[in-house]
Homo-oligomer: A and B are copies of this chain.
Amino acid sequence: MTHFDEPKVPTGREAIDPSDEARAMTEIMLTVFRINGRLLEKGDALVRTLGIASAQWQVLGAVSLSGKPLSAPQIAAAMGITRQGVQKQLNRMTKKGLFEKRPNPRHERSNLYWPTPEGQRIYSEAMRRETLWAQQLAEGLPGPEIQGALDFLKKFHRRLEAPLPEEGE
């Protein structure tokens, strides 16, 4: 399938026969992509009737969990995305009345953000629905199996920090 016209003399660039482990690892990557897509889709559906998308839910979560007003760059750091991306959401949600700006004692131009009562209400309800959903997804699965998968995924995530394999580029 994947072999078009293979070179006839060794080039050091031949296709490599992957081990079973490497093959399974590749399948894990593909499955993660698929799960990610489905999680986003379902997550959006879960909060759609609250008038937010999951990106906004995430921003609400980052601030709420910190327990205190945060600046855009602080939220970005907590979420692992860029400050510009967060700023876009904050502007939109502030306009919608979900966040309020608070003066930042440590910076003249840089506001802090805290959810309005309406923002808090929406976030609480989103979390309530999420818990119900997680409960449903876990139903009937043995605790140790779930925990084992989580452990593996964390290990996998850590391994993904490693630099890519060397090439004689």
Residues of A within 8 A of B (CB): 1-2, 4-5, 13-16, 18-29, 31-39, 42, 45-46, 49, 64-67, 80, 115, 117, 120, 123-125, 127-138, 141, 143, 145-150, 152-157, 159-162, 164-165, 167, 169
Contact = CB atoms under 8 A, between A and B. Distances in A.
Nearest to A21: B138
Residue in A64, A152, A157 with the greatest tally of chain B CB atoms within 10 Å: A152
A35 to B, nearest CB: 5
A46 B120 CA distance: 42
A22 B24 CA distance: 27
Given A16-B131, A138-B19, A147 B80 contact: no
Contact of A135 (B22, B32, B42): B22
Contacts of A20: 143
Can you tell how many copies of this chain the complex includes? Answer: 2
A128 to B, nearest CB: 6
A41 B24 CA distance: 20
A64 B24 contact: no
A149 B28 contact: yes
A145 to B, nearest CB: 7
